[in-house]
Amino acid sequence: MRDGAAVFTKILIANRGEIACRIIKTAKRLGIRTVAVFSDADRDALHVEMADEAVAIGAAPAAESYLSIERIIDACRQTGAEAVHPGYGFLSERPAFAEALAAAGIVFIGPNPRAIAAMGDKIESKKFAAAAKVSTVPGHLGVIENDTQALRIADEIGYPVMIKASAGGGGKGMRIAFRREEVAEGLARARSEAKSSFGDDRVFIEKFILDPRHVEIQVLGDKHGHVIHLGERECSIQRRNQKVLEEAPSPLLDAKTRAAMGAQAVALAKAVGYDSAGTVEFVAGQDRSFFFLEMNTRLQVEHPVTEMVTGIDLVEEMIRVAAGEKLRLRQEDVKLKGWAIESRIYAEDPTRNFLPSIGRLTTYRPPREGKLGAGTVRNDAGVREGAEISIYYDPMIAKLVTHAPTRAQAIATQALALDAFALEGIRHNMPFLSAVMRHPRWQEGRLSTGFIAEEFPKGFWLTPPSGAAARAVAAVALALDDISNARKRKIAGQMPGWRVAEFATERVVKIGQEEFAATVHREGSETVVDFSAPQSGPVRLASNWHPGEPSFVGTIDGNAVAMQLRPILNGMAIGHAGTEVEARVYTRREAELAAKMPLKMLAGAGTALRCPMPGLVKSISVKPGQEVKVGDMLCIVEAMKMENVLRAERDAVVKALRAKEGDTLGVDAVIMEFE
């Protein structure tokens, strides 16, 4: 595209969800018409609505739709699309897809098939990197055939080792074996997940670097031999080898290391003839040493943080390069400005070991894009309110990105944005992300890929707020109750009187077992909450909040604050700073009576294994009458492309099986019973 004229008239996006929407936005800005493809599960998806045209390509399972090369090409022929952007995942790193498109006369908006083949396969890429004198992690550069070979190689390398799928990415098909006894099961799970996710069960083994950091370099090349890098991203906050938080630049690197790492990434990309956007990933030591890990020959999920600090639209550059244009940038033109942080919003329950959650988004109100606090907000999403989170695909709902002049300001803006993001209908990981934003180790930049396991060894739990946080929640609950009461008093036909005024000003809010008494009144545009002892003192709140809105965004004593809200009887359920609490507001007499009400206790049941998430029963390892010990494998449930091994939590005897292999179960469905 030159002088604003589009070289491509129409492109097809061979993907779904947020990345499809992201690509459509850039294409529209460039004046390019877009074609969406969709499976049966995505018929009403946002990317289908956003595109100029849409083509149905098959059933919900990816193998019957988004992974079908023939159906994608047929959709191009139906619509006259000249080029295809693959996004990430699915067919994005399949050389056969790029070759098939070329044979059909359709441009692939991505690297050439030779580069994909050389770098997209983890085993071949490591061989290539080693031959090019690029530092690599010690390991066996070959396919593992069986348990015996895996054990021998793991013993030779030394534990811990990483068993990793050769194809694909995204944390799928990866297992860490810390000792010999874990190798066989790790190999089986990695191969099974790789086969399910990528149609390729080849795996290899390499040394797992202890206390590592994950740092990657964004590269950009054209078809004329020019390659540059756009700085680094740090992606060390991971869970099950899946990235959760990303940032640019990295708090680890200095200018010298950045230049060295960037130069190595560019050299590798040039050696393979790379001609699109791609990412060279490194495992880095705390001493800034680094080793080549792999190259992702596609657009990365976390590309927005690079865009925010460089001002470069990577999707636009990919389209221009695919159209044959030379890079418009030289290496010296790339300047990193400020700091960007991305949180991946997942449909999962952090209080249940991050198990997937599906359902309808009854509330979906992200913070407004643009200025917030000391920074700015960007939200990349592929959903809208009322959308269904499906069992068939990745559980990511959105990517919340903040940018600010400094890392501390970017973190503060991200924390504020997370607390302002109202999401209901499914469980989500925003309380966990919000808690990480406030974690001292995260704020200091002392990161490693073991951060989550080390800092949350017993999982994540929603704990009641305390101290200043509890006082802030109480103040917001009281202020919102006062605003709601003021609105109610304006309803026509009511009799005015002093009792109504007294009811509105003297209040008690109960948060867990803690009570806050206060008087509430308005002073101009502010609400003043004057706490009684022991929390004595006034708090001034300002906000444009109106009854019915699912989040509070405003200030408390001049400091920016946001909270997620859900109405409950006598108050609000409030999410803030990694906590979720019920704040119930009463008159003083109501508070006295509420304290005398008995608590309802839930009856426990430990005689059954229940499905912890909606999923497919892949296998059952026991039978009725069998004795099981603590830790024994009972079954495997697959959900959102991840296999979850369910184990015995106590010694028991299997009484009966209530599900069989191949069954699709809902959350809490009984799989088996014990005596």
Maximum alpha-carbon separation in the chain: 87
Question: Is the per-residue pLDDT at 141 higher than 80?
Answer: no
pLDDT, residue 401, reads: 98
**For the ranges 58-72, 83-97, 459-473, which has the lowest average pLDDT?**
459-473
Question: Which residue, 207, 187, 191, is CA-closest to 285?
Answer: 207
Confidence of residue 394 (pLDDT cuts 50, 70, 90): confident
**CA distances (Å), origin 151, targets 144, 158, 179, 204, 408:** 10, 10, 10, 12, 45
- The encoded tokens of residue 346 equal 């997942």
Question: Is the per-residue pLDDT at 1 higher than 50?
Answer: no
Amino acid in position 548: G
Backbone angles phi, psi at 598, to 5 degrees: -70, 150
**CA distances (Å), origin 584, targets 131, 479, 568:** 66, 12, 8
Confidence of residue 499 (pLDDT cuts 50, 70, 90): low
Buried b (16+ CB within 10 A) or exposed e, 205-239: bbbbbeebbbbbbbbbbbbeebbbbbbbbbbbbbb
Give the tens place of pLDDT for each residue, 72-89.
Answer: 999 999 999 999 999 999
The second-level CATH assignment, the architecture, of 213-455 is: 2-Layer Sandwich (3.30)
d(CA 436, CA 452): 9
In CATH terms, the fold of domain 608-674 is OB fold (Dihydrolipoamide Acetyltransferase, E2P) (2.40.50)
d(CA 92, CA 108): 10
Instruction: Tell me the sheet residues that pair with 637.
Output: 617, 644
pLDDT, residue 199, reads: 84
In CATH terms, the fold of domain 467-490+497-594 is Glycoprotein, Type 4 Pilin (3.30.700)
- For the ranges 156-160, 219-223, 484-488, the maximum mean pLDDT occurs at 219-223
pLDDT, residue 619, reads: 93
d(CA 186, CA 175): 5
Confidence of residue 593 (pLDDT cuts 50, 70, 90): confident
d(CA 450, CA 211): 7
Q: Give, as one character, the DSSP assignment of residue 23.
A: H
pLDDT, residue 606, reads: 62
d(CA 243, CA 344): 8
Residue found by looking up tokens 């006034």 in the block: 538
3-state secondary structure (DSSP) of residue 494 = coil
**For the ranges 222-226, 331-335, 650-654, which has the lowest average pLDDT?**
650-654
For strands 396-404 and 355-356, give the pairing: unpaired
Give the tens place of pLDDT for each residue, 234-260.
Answer: 999 998 888 999 999 999 999 999 999
3-state secondary structure (DSSP) of residue 348 = strand
So where are the chain's domains? 10-109, 138-207, 213-455, 467-490+497-594, 608-674
Give the tens place of pLDDT for each residue, 281-317.
Answer: 999 999 998 999 899 999 999 999 999 999 999 999 9
Question: Which residue, 534, 551, 555, 535, is CA-closest to 543?
Answer: 555
**CA distances (Å), origin 650, targets 277, 585, 609, 644:** 50, 42, 11, 18
State mean pLDDT over 381-385: 96
Give the tens place of pLDDT for each residue, 337-357.
Answer: 999 999 999 999 898 888 888
Confidence of residue 602 (pLDDT cuts 50, 70, 90): very low
d(CA 22, CA 382): 8
Q: What angle do CA 217, 412, 249 make, to 5 degrees?
A: 15
d(CA 17, CA 287): 38
- The encoded tokens of residue 271 equal 């050696």
Quote the mean pLDDT of the chain. 91
DSSP H or E segment with residue 207: strand 203-207
d(CA 646, CA 27): 44
- The encoded tokens of residue 42 equal 């995505």
d(CA 624, CA 626): 6
d(CA 87, CA 604): 46
Residue 20 and residue 88 in contact, taking contact as beta carbons nearer than 8 Å: no
Q: Which pTM value belongs to this model?
A: 0.82
Give the tens place of pLDDT for each residue, 461-487.
Answer: 888 888 889 999 999 999 999 999 888
Residue 505 and residue 527 in contact, taking contact as beta carbons nearer than 8 Å: no
pLDDT > 70 fraction of the chain, expressed in percent and rounded: 95
Residues 6+ apart with CB under 8 A from 28: 34
Please give the CATH number for the structural domain made up of 10-109. Answer: 3.40.50.20
Question: Is the per-residue pLDDT at 501 higher than 70?
Answer: no
Q: How far apart are the first and last CA of the chain?
A: 70
pLDDT, residue 8, reads: 96
pLDDT, residue 514, reads: 87
d(CA 273, CA 294): 16
**CA distances (Å), origin 15, targets 23, 102, 639:** 10, 19, 20
Give the tens place of pLDDT for each residue, 166-199.
Answer: 886 667 789 999 999 999 999 999 999 888 888 8
d(CA 188, CA 618): 13
DSSP H or E segment with residue 39: strand 33-39
Confidence of residue 504 (pLDDT cuts 50, 70, 90): low
d(CA 24, CA 17): 11
Residue 202 and residue 141 in contact, taking contact as beta carbons nearer than 8 Å: no
Residue found by looking up tokens 């059909």 in the block: 104
Amino acid in position 360: R
pLDDT > 90 fraction of the chain, expressed in percent and rounded: 70
Residue 244 and residue 452 in contact, taking contact as beta carbons nearer than 8 Å: yes
Question: Is the per-residue pLDDT at 368 higher than 90?
Answer: yes
State mean pLDDT over 500-517: 77
State mean pLDDT over 39-51: 96
d(CA 336, CA 232): 10
- The encoded tokens of residue 496 equal 């005015």
| Catalytic residue chosen out of the listed positions 294, 317, 342, 638 | 294
- The encoded tokens of residue 281 equal 């990933």
Question: Which residue, 51, 91, 95, 44, is CA-closest to 71?
Answer: 91
Residues 6+ apart with CB under 8 A from 612: 352, 353, 355, 637, 644, 646, 667, 668
DSSP per position, 555-584 = EETTEEEEEEEEEETTEEEEEETTEEEEEE
pLDDT, residue 502, reads: 46
Asked about 294 being catalytic, the answer comes back as yes
Residue 506 and residue 516 in contact, taking contact as beta carbons nearer than 8 Å: no
State mean pLDDT over 135-144: 83
- The HSE-up count of residue 318 (CA atoms within 13 Å, CB side) is 27
Question: Is the per-residue pLDDT at 325 higher than 70?
Answer: yes
Instruction: Tell me the sheet residues that pair with 636.
Output: 619, 645
Same CATH topology for 138-207 and 213-455?
no
| CA-based R_g, the chain, Å | 27
- The encoded tokens of residue 261 equal 């790492």
Please give the CATH number for the structural domain made up of 138-207. Answer: 3.30.1490.20
Number of other residues whose CB lies within 10 A of the CB of residue 480 = 26
Which carries the bigger pLDDT value, residue 120 or residue 314? 314
Residue found by looking up tokens 């090349």 in the block: 221
pLDDT, residue 351, reads: 86
Amino acid in position 504: A
d(CA 453, CA 276): 35
